[in-house]
């Protein structure tokens, strides 16, 4: 684990900046990856990690600064340029061909050839088996990729990277969807690669994993690098402090609401292999945040409560009456509104008009003898548009033409029109610019002030801390933390998110 | 914690692989069994069905469809579809027959038929890839356009067998060692396309495109070029089918091959080619063509009304799709279970 800093880094980023419109996603970031070293990249969501990775992958080009390979500045014009330079990226969701065999996935477009340019299947399978042997894993080269676990698919991606002699391997949250044994296997592979002189970068939120496998670390916050150096001698407290430590600004106009009677009661809710033994309640006028890492099972709990997915055990009660398992219609009628995570795919019909989208949950009430008149549709849409301060040109415009924040308001309008008692919002401000974000926050907090019970799922810690009356934290499908507004701080939540459960309150 | 720490049950992996291999073999074997069953039952009722002449006819009928189904498979595998093949056949059949009736040598007729088909395919391919229009829409449009062109060229005229050279008609009606010549041609085409699809990079890349186009692009595959090539091949093979059509029937007018596209796509789907791309073989598609041809002949021999034929083809299609879906789900579950068992 010797770190020789005099060596020329295999891949480096020098003073790189990148802006999208007015948003500075990355500011003068510097990073150096050296052979035989595992480098951790840490930071909260939105800190600029993925922008940095995409720059190394050739997806983005820096506005300022340079990417350097072996100390020489290069310009990647696309992912293929980066690949030819020996840089391989393993994304969280592998990009493979499900219908083709493992071996073909590794060698697609570069299959070994026999005479007459025919594919030499035997040589291909032998080479893939040899790669797997080098990695120390057993995987059948001839089986189709369809049905492989995410962990195995990552191994296929790593084998692919090795097959074109990648010298730099960047893994974007590879362990997010893996079980304990799978993580051990992956780490074994990572150590093997390090011994063979590869430069590796490892993105993870899990502190214990970073300490287990990494030699050096770069911490990012708000698009800038806040720490860069060897991991030795650092504690998890040091890292957490580097990642957070920012003032909560006026982004969160939290109104103090009087907390009323119980609205939602979830008891021992379990869905096999997804989440286990989840119990909590949400009261009228209260905003309860569900925090955790991507893949911790937060959205899945919300989906189960709303009836999109079935649960295997436990119960859900709304206003003291049980909710049927697996029936969104029943949940809606009982008084639950659900603003999903992916507004473009699940929340809206992008080609339909604003009016249609905003009234979609109320078609039954609006219809007279089965016919919906455009006028009543518009009246209802106008009412909610005004209440939510929706900025639009005409109600007949397709909803896809609105900005992200205004689209989110249409989704909110759609659910508020059903007059729910409980509103579940999943990542309410993802992909929304800062100004509109504050407006969405104001709106949610105002609704809670009017007595609505809100369950908010969020990956952004400032949002969680700024908005919530209570914070629940999930880790790998279980509740690992429960904090009141007074108790909640960034360090405690981050700890609970990474599975350190010593602080579970009752 | 060494890299080889988690114990791996190699046996379960082998089983998973064997299972998936068996399924694909079963898929083609199933059609062969259905074929034998159909022939057996029909022969039991009407023994004349398995006379040499009637079997030869059966092979001749299926040959034209099989050639087109081979081309269609290339396109379907990339997650596209070519609806224009029937019209391309008509165009190529008329142009080649017209040339022959004016004394052109046979080789010229063949080459021109292929070129006409290939050109039609090129147009389809360009509209789909560079025009970014869904293949369903593009080829539905060219289905009418090419047919219209055929009507324009013929001007309502018809070419009869008398005006075609005997040597040409022999291809469609003659035999070599009792095997119809046209069937030998079809067999050569199917095997050639089958080998290309299985054993060459360009062929495998078609599967990759149909399986996950974005991943294919990331793997450095020039997807547009490959898709255009698939359409050109499909068009060219429809052109070959057109020339074969002329030699088999002798009579060609502007309506030649009308509605063939649906039979061809049905044949491919019955043969296990997934309409969603990424899965299927040329051999399966050719067997599907043979099975559909066999149903037609059997119903004629059994003197069953022709609308039953359509019902039978429809039922077969639904059975094939249901079977694929069922097997697909079972296979998915089995593969996932084995991965999970290993991970635990």
Q: How far is A317 from chain B (nearest CA, A)?
A: 33
Q: Check residue B69 and give its pLDDT.
A: 95
A184 Cβ under 8 Å from any chain B Cβ? yes
Q: Residue A140 and residue B201: Cβ atoms within 8 Å?
A: no
Asked whether residue A221 falls in the same domain as residue A368, the answer is no
* Nearest-CB residue to B343 (from A99, A143, A179): A179
Asked if pLDDT for residue A318 goes beyond 80, the answer is yes
Asked if pLDDT for residue B139 goes beyond 60, the answer is yes
A137 Cβ under 8 Å from any chain B Cβ? yes
A115 Cβ under 8 Å from any chain B Cβ? no
Domain for residue A181, yes or no?
Answer: yes
Q: Check residue B16 and give its pLDDT.
A: 56
Give B 15-34 residues with CB within 8 A of chain A. 16-17, 20
Domain for residue A3, yes or no?
Answer: no
A120: closest chain B residue by CA:
B199
Specify whether the CB–CB gap between A111 and A163 falls below 8 A. Answer: no
Asked if pLDDT for residue B2 goes beyond 50, the answer is no
Q: Residue B20 and residue A139: Cβ atoms within 8 Å?
A: no
Asked whether residue A271 falls in the same domain as residue A391, the answer is no
Here the tokens at position B65 are 């469809």
B209 Cβ under 8 Å from any chain A Cβ? no
A403 Cβ under 8 Å from any chain B Cβ? no
* Nearest-CB residue to B212 (from A96, A140, A184): A96
Name the domain boundary from A363, A398, A419: A419
Q: What's the first-to-final CA gap in chain A, in angstroms? A: 43
Specify whether the CB–CB gap between A347 and A304 falls below 8 A. Answer: no
Cα separation, A428 vs A456, whole angstroms: 8
Q: Residue B208 and residue A100: Cβ atoms within 8 Å?
A: yes
* Nearest-CB residue to B220 (from A100, A109, A137): A109
Domain for residue A276, yes or no?
Answer: yes
* Nearest-CB residue to A108 (from B16, B204, B340): B204
Confidence of residue B79 (pLDDT cuts 50, 70, 90): very high
A235 Cβ under 8 Å from any chain B Cβ? no
Q: Check residue B4 and give its pLDDT.
A: 40
Asked whether residue A112 falls in the same domain as residue A162, the answer is yes
Confidence of residue B23 (pLDDT cuts 50, 70, 90): low
Tokens 């040597």 appear where? B167
> Using a CB-CB distance cutoff of 8 angstroms, which residues of chain B are in contact with residue A113?
201
Domain for residue A401, yes or no?
Answer: yes
Asked if pLDDT for residue B344 goes beyond 50, the answer is no
Asked whether residue A414 falls in the same domain as residue A431, the answer is no
**pLDDT tens-place string over residues A115-173:** 888 888 889 999 999 888 877 788 888 888 887 877 788 888 888 888 887 889 998 88
Mean pLDDT for A420-429 is 88
Q: Pick from A413, A420, A362: which is nearest to A392 by CA? A: A413
Q: Check residue A355 and give its pLDDT.
A: 84
Q: Check residue B15 and give its pLDDT.
A: 57
Burial class (CB in 10 A: 0-12, 13-18, 19+), B220: middle
Confidence of residue B8 (pLDDT cuts 50, 70, 90): very low
Domains of chain B, by residue range, sit at 18-323
Q: Which helix (H) or strand (E) holds B120?
A: helix B106-129
Confidence of residue A227 (pLDDT cuts 50, 70, 90): confident
Mean pLDDT for B146-168 is 86
For chains A and B, count residue pairs whose Cβ atoms are closer than 8 Å: 119
Q: How far is A223 from chain B (nearest CA, A)?
A: 27
Q: Which CATH fold would you assign to the domain B18-323?
A: ABC transporter involved in vitamin B12 uptake, BtuC (1.10.3470)
Q: Pick from A406, A456, A457: which is nearest to A433 by CA? A: A406
B328: closest chain A residue by CA:
A146
**pLDDT tens-place string over residues A243-267:** 765 444 455 666 666 788 889 999 9
> Using a CB-CB distance cutoff of 8 angstroms, which residues of chain A are in contact with residue B219?
108-109
Q: Residue B20 and residue A97: Cβ atoms within 8 Å?
A: no
Mean pLDDT for A301-308 is 90
Crossing angle of helices A180-195/A150-163, nearest 10°?
A: 10
Asked whether residue A21 falls in the same domain as residue A106, the answer is yes
Asked if pLDDT for residue A408 goes beyond 70, the answer is yes
Name the domain boundary from A383, A398, A419: A419
B208 Cβ under 8 Å from any chain A Cβ? yes
Which of A367 and A412 is assigned the larger pLDDT? A412
- DSSP structure class, residue B202: H
B341: closest chain A residue by CA:
A149
Mean pLDDT for A341-357 is 81
Cα separation, A346 vs A411, whole angstroms: 10
Confidence of residue B140 (pLDDT cuts 50, 70, 90): very high
Domain for residue A493, yes or no?
Answer: yes
A184: closest chain B residue by CA:
B1
Asked if pLDDT for residue A506 goes beyond 50, the answer is no
Asked whether residue A74 falls in the same domain as residue A154, the answer is yes
Q: How far is B324 from chain A (nearest CA, A)?
A: 14
Q: Residue A151 and residue B343: Cβ atoms within 8 Å?
A: yes
Radius of gyration of chain A (CA): 25
CB within 8 Å of A362: residues ≥ 6 apart: A380, A417, A418
Mean of pLDDT over chain B? 84
Q: Which helix (H) or strand (E) holds A456?
A: strand A453-457
Mean pLDDT for A372-397 is 82
Burial class (CB in 10 A: 0-12, 13-18, 19+), A115: exposed
Domain containing A453 equals 248-335+421-506
Confidence of residue B165 (pLDDT cuts 50, 70, 90): confident
Determine the longest span between alpha carbons in chain A, in angstroms.
80
Name the domain boundary from A189, A215, A243: A243
Domain for residue A224, yes or no?
Answer: yes
Among the residue ranges B4-13, B65-74, B78-87, the one predicted with the least confidence is: B4-13
Domain for residue A5, yes or no?
Answer: no
Asked whether residue A98 falls in the same domain as residue A194, the answer is yes
> Using a CB-CB distance cutoff of 8 angstroms, which residues of chain A are in contact with residue B199?
118-119
Q: Residue B3 and residue A98: Cβ atoms within 8 Å?
A: no
Give the best-scoring range by mean pLDDT among A19-23, A344-348, A354-358: A354-358
Confidence of residue A21 (pLDDT cuts 50, 70, 90): low
A54 Cβ under 8 Å from any chain B Cβ? no
Asked whether residue A84 falls in the same domain as residue A204, the answer is yes
In degrees and rounded to multiples of 5, residue A398 shows phi and psi of -60, 145
**pLDDT tens-place string over residues B220-247:** 888 899 999 999 999 999 999 999 999 9
Number of domains within chain A: 3
> Using a CB-CB distance cutoff of 8 angstroms, which residues of chain A are in contact with residue B13?
138-140, 143
Confidence of residue B215 (pLDDT cuts 50, 70, 90): confident
* Nearest-CB residue to B332 (from A136, A147, A151): A147
Q: Check residue B225 and give its pLDDT.
A: 93
Q: Check residue A422 and give its pLDDT.
A: 92
Specify whether the CB–CB gap between A42 and A204 falls below 8 A. Answer: yes
Q: Check residue B24 and give its pLDDT.
A: 56
ipTM exceeding the 0.85 mark: no
Domain for residue A6, yes or no?
Answer: no
A213 Cβ under 8 Å from any chain B Cβ? no
Q: How far is B174 from chain A (nearest CA, A)?
A: 34
Asked if pLDDT for residue A193 goes beyond 80, the answer is yes
Q: Check residue A431 and give its pLDDT.
A: 65
Give A 188-207 residues with CB within 8 A of chain B. 188-189, 191-192
Which of A466 and B282 is assigned the larger pLDDT? B282
Asked whether residue A97 falls in the same domain as residue A185, the answer is yes
Mean pLDDT for A490-498 is 83
Asked whether residue A400 falls in the same domain as residue A356, the answer is yes
Q: What's the CATH number where A290 sits?
A: 3.40.50.300
CA dist A144 → A97, A339, B195, B207, B273 (Å): 9, 37, 20, 13, 17
Mean of pLDDT over chain A? 83
Here the tokens at position B46 are 């009407």
Asked whether residue A92 falls in the same domain as residue A188, the answer is yes
Asked whether residue A356 falls in the same domain as residue A502, the answer is no
């Amino acid at each position: 684990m010797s770190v020789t800093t005099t060596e020329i880094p295999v891949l480096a980023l020098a003073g790189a900046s990148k802006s999208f419109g007015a948003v500075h996603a990355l500011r003068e970031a510097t990073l150096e990856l050296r052979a035989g070293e595992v480098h951790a990249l840490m930071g909260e969501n939105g800190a600029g990690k993925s922008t940095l990775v995409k720059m190394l992958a050739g997806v983005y080009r820096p506005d300022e600064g340079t990417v350097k390979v072996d100390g020489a500045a290069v310009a990647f014009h696309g992912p293929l340029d980066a690949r030819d330079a020996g840089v391989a990226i393993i994304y969280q969701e592998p990009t493979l061909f499900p219908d083709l065999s493992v071996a073909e996935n590794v060698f697609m477009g570069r299959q070994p050839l026999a005479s007459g340019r025919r594919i030499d299947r035997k040589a291909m399978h032998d080479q893939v088996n040899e790669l797997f042997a080098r990695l120390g894993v057993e995987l059948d080269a001839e089986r189709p990729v369809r049905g492989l676990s995410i962990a195995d698919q990552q191994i296929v991606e790593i084998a692919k990277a090795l097959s074109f002699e990648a010298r730099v391997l960047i893994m974007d949250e590879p362990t997010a969807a893996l079980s304990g044994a799978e993580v051990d296997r992956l780490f074994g592979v990572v150590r093997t690669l390090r011994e063979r002189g590869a430069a590796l970068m490892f993105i993870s939120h899990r502190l214990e994993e970073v300490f287990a496998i990494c030699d050096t670390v770069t911490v990012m916050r708000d698009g800038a690098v806040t720490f860069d150096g060897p991991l030795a001698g650092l504690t998890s407290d040091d890292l957490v402090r580097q990642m957070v430590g920012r003032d909560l600004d006026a982004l969160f106009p939290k109104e103090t609401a009087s907390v009323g009677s119980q609205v939602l009661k979830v008891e021992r809710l379990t869905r096999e292999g997804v989440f286990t033994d989840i119990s909590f309640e949400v009261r009228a006028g209260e905003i309860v945040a569900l925090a955790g890492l991507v893949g911790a099972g937060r959205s899945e709990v919300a989906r189960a409560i709303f009836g999109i997915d079935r649960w295997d055990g436990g119960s859900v009660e709304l206003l003291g009456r049980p909710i049927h398992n697996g029936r969104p219609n029943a949940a809606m009628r009982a008084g639950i509104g659900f603003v999903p995570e992916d507004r473009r795919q699940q929340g809206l019909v992008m080609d339909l008009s604003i009016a249609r989208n905003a009234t979609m949950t109320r078609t039954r009430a609006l219809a007279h003898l089965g016919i919906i008149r455009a006028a009543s549709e518009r009246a209802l849409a106008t009412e909610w548009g005004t209440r939510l301060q929706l900025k639009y040109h005409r109600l007949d415009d397709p909803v896809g033409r609105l900005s992200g924040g205004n689209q989110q308001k249409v989704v909110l309008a759609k659910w508020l029109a059903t007059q729910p008692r409980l509103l579940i919002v999943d990542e309410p401000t993802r992909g929304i610019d800062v100004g509109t974000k504050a407006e969405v926050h104001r709106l949610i907090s105002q609704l809670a002030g009017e007595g609505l019970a809100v369950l908010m799922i969020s990956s952004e810690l400032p949002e969680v801390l700024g908005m919530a009356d209570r914070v629940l934290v999930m880790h790998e499908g279980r509740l690992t933390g429960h904090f009141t507004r007074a108790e909640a701080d960034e360090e405690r939540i981050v700890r609970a998110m990474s599975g350190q459960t010593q602080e579970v309150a009752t | 914690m060494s890299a080889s720490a988690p114990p791996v049950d190699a046996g379960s992996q082998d089983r998973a692989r064997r299972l998936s291999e068996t399924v694909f073999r079963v898929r083609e074997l199933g059609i062969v069994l259905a074929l034998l069953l159909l022939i057996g039952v029909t022969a039991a009722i009407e023994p004349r069905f398995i006379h040499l002449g009637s079997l030869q006819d059966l092979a001749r009928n299926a040959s034209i469809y099989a050639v087109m189904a081979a081309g269609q498979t290339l396109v379907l595998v990339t997650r596209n579809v070519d609806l224009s093949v029937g019209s391309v056949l008509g165009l190529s059949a008329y142009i080649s027959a017209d040339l022959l009736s004016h004394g052109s040598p046979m080789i010229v007729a063949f080459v021109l038929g292929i070129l006409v088909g290939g050109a039609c395919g090129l147009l389809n391919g360009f509209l789909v890839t560079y025009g970014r229009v869904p293949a369903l829409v593009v080829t539905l449009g060219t289905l009418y356009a090419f047919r219209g062109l055929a009507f324009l060229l013929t001007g309502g005229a018809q070419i009869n067998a008398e005006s075609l050279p005997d040597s040409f008609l022999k291809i469609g009606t003659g035999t070599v060692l009792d095997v119809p010549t046209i069937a030998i041609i079809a067999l050569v085409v199917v095997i050639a396309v089958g080998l290309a699809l299985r054993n060459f990079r360009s062929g495998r890349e078609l599967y990759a495109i149909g399986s996950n186009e974005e991943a294919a692009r990331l793997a450095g595959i020039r997807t547009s070029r490959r898709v255009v090539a698939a359409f050109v091949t499909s068009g060219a093979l429809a052109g070959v089918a057109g020339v074969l059509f002329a030699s088999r029937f002798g009579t060609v007018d502007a309506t030649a091959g009308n509605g063939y596209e649906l039979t061809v796509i049905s044949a491919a789907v019955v043969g296990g080619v997934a309409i969603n791309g990424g899965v299927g073989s040329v051999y399966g598609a050719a067997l599907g063509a043979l099975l559909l041809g066999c149903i037609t002949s059997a119903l004629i021999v059994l003197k069953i009304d022709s609308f039953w034929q359509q019902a039978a083809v429809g039922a077969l299609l639904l059975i094939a799709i249901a079977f694929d879906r069922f097997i697909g789900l079972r296979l998915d579950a089995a593969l996932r279970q084995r991965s999970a068992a290993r991970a635990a």
